[in-house]
Structure 1
Amino acid sequence: MTLTAAPSPAMRPAAPRPRKLLPLVLLGLLALLPLASGLGLPSPWLTLVTRAMIFAIAALSLDLVLGVAGLVSFGHAAFIGIGAYGAGILITEGHTDLLVALPVVLLACGLFAAVTGYVSLRTRGVAFIMITLAFGQMAFYFAQALSAYGGDDGLTLYEKSTLLGREIFANRTGFYYIVLGTLAACYALARGLVASRFGRVLRAARENAVRVTVTGYEVDRIRLAAYVVSGMMAGLSGFLLANQTDFVSPAFMSWQRSGELIFMVVLGGVGSLHGAILGALAFLVAEDVLSGLTQHWKAIFGPLIVLFVLFTRGGISGLLLKLRGPRHG
């Protein structure tokens, strides 16, 4: 009779971590939503969730610098506005092809992030918050001064971006899946950056920048690179937003919008990345539901968010981990 020793716990395959499964489950549920729409879900919900996913990309980009690098940017909506106005101006001038418009938009956002980030990162704490707010307001007032493209009234778009002549954004369900695919790609990029040496240095610099500098890393250069990637990602969300709404406005880059992005990140759970997606979805859906109930919905919505953040540690993502209960085995 042969006795076989039971494998030790260390030799057993590790169970999938909930933190890794949650983003996959979330993206999977979003992929199934159009099917639910065919089974009776009101059609406006598909448009609402599409908009929420677009803002989830912007919130994800902010979480990359806020949650990972510890940089509180209060002008992040400027990148959304630059992306939206870039798409709108190019469409108005007849340059609708995605292969031309998108690189131009990303380059513009990257340059704006590089210049403003270089200046902003020379400051710390409250000064950094205020200088990013100032740059955001500069972009806001510049958009208001663009009288050739609507000025304060905004710019109405009569076409959408195309891909080699094909109107890929015209179909609502098709556009939904394009936005979902973009969100998944941005999440994978952000997760890859955070898991790399680049991300580890960012997190270490958040805790103690002096020690990281002593080891030979140029902290400001790494932070600037993260800020540029974040700005380009937020600009991508603005590009998609312009194609969804067929309208761009200076309001896209107002300081209130930047504040809402911070709320989304905090609501979902700072630093979790997938929490930014959850926060954006919850924020936009709650905003839509409450605004349909009363015209004074902001008086209800604001205190609800504050109470949730105060009494829920780690935001929605932290709450989901607590609901999972203690591990067994």
Structure 2
Amino acid sequence: MSGAGDLRDRLTDGLYGLGWSTVKRLPEPVAARLGRRIADTVWKRRGASVLRLEANLARVAPDAGPERLAALSKAGMRSYMRYWMESFRLPAWSQERVAGSVDIKDIHYLKDGLASGRGVVLALPHLANWDLAGVWVTRALGVPFTTVAERLKPETLFDRFVAYRESLGMEVLPHTGGAAFGTLARRLRAGGLVCLVADRDLSSSGTEVTFFGDTARMPAGPAMLAQHTGALLLPVTLWYDDSPVMKGQVYPPVDVPETGTRAEKTSRMTQALADAFATGIADHPEDWHMLQRLWLADLDERSGEPGATRAAGQAGKQGDGAGERRAAGADGERTA
């Protein structure tokens, strides 16, 4: 089994390496057609990732019939492959190309927060292309930032992602190891910017939220960082439309509640993030690249132990020191 696993890891690493080395050299129309063709082929095969995406979209659009859900999942796979085609090509984009490829509403919340010197946490879901948004921040706004990435297997693939994102002006910290929270806090106290993809908990210590009418668990890191450092916490959503320009929205700050325990404050702030995410996802469900189980009912169904996942989530809300170190585990990667 280990030999087969090693072979699979080498194949995965090789395919991503091929993408970064080859796709960026293709003419843009060719790359776009290739992405759509791959997406349609994967969608037609109706594999586990496509079925999970469709099941997640059924929660987002509960009134959608089978035909509508199928159309959404097909559009979702095309959006997902657009993300990859753009990401493979981003290192070759000029500053002018990046600046003209993103249009963010209410960006003044970010600019004003940074100008105040208090630090800013941007929290966003898996919508559209957060890598492109990140490059836009570093190149068009001239603002470096720090983020957290899931440690992928094989290690060489994780190294590729880190090198890729660092080449785009991002500081990337591994999700595992417990040191990320402290580093993020130091960056914020120095008035810096932290960006976290925060709609999927990776740590088993996240905060339970109501999300599209059912219970899910999301990372507590963004809320806890804001509490610990005084940084501004800003939800962000992204989406594609019919133009080549990706759109986005920065929402008003999520304030730290004046009363309550640390866990209660974290819960209320994380719920506010979830509500903002839900608004953006409901408006653009085809751009939500959630190909994994998210809601606790789905996680319990997979584990075969009803309530076990929920109990683990409650344990992670107690606010102990280890939980705070794990709480920075916002998701920074996507899996194919």
- More strand by percentage: 2
- More helix by percentage: 1
Structure having the higher Rg: 1
Which fold has the larger relative contact order, with Cα–Cα distance below 8 Å and residues 6 or more apart in sequence? 1
TM-score computed with the length of structure 2 as normaliser: 0.26
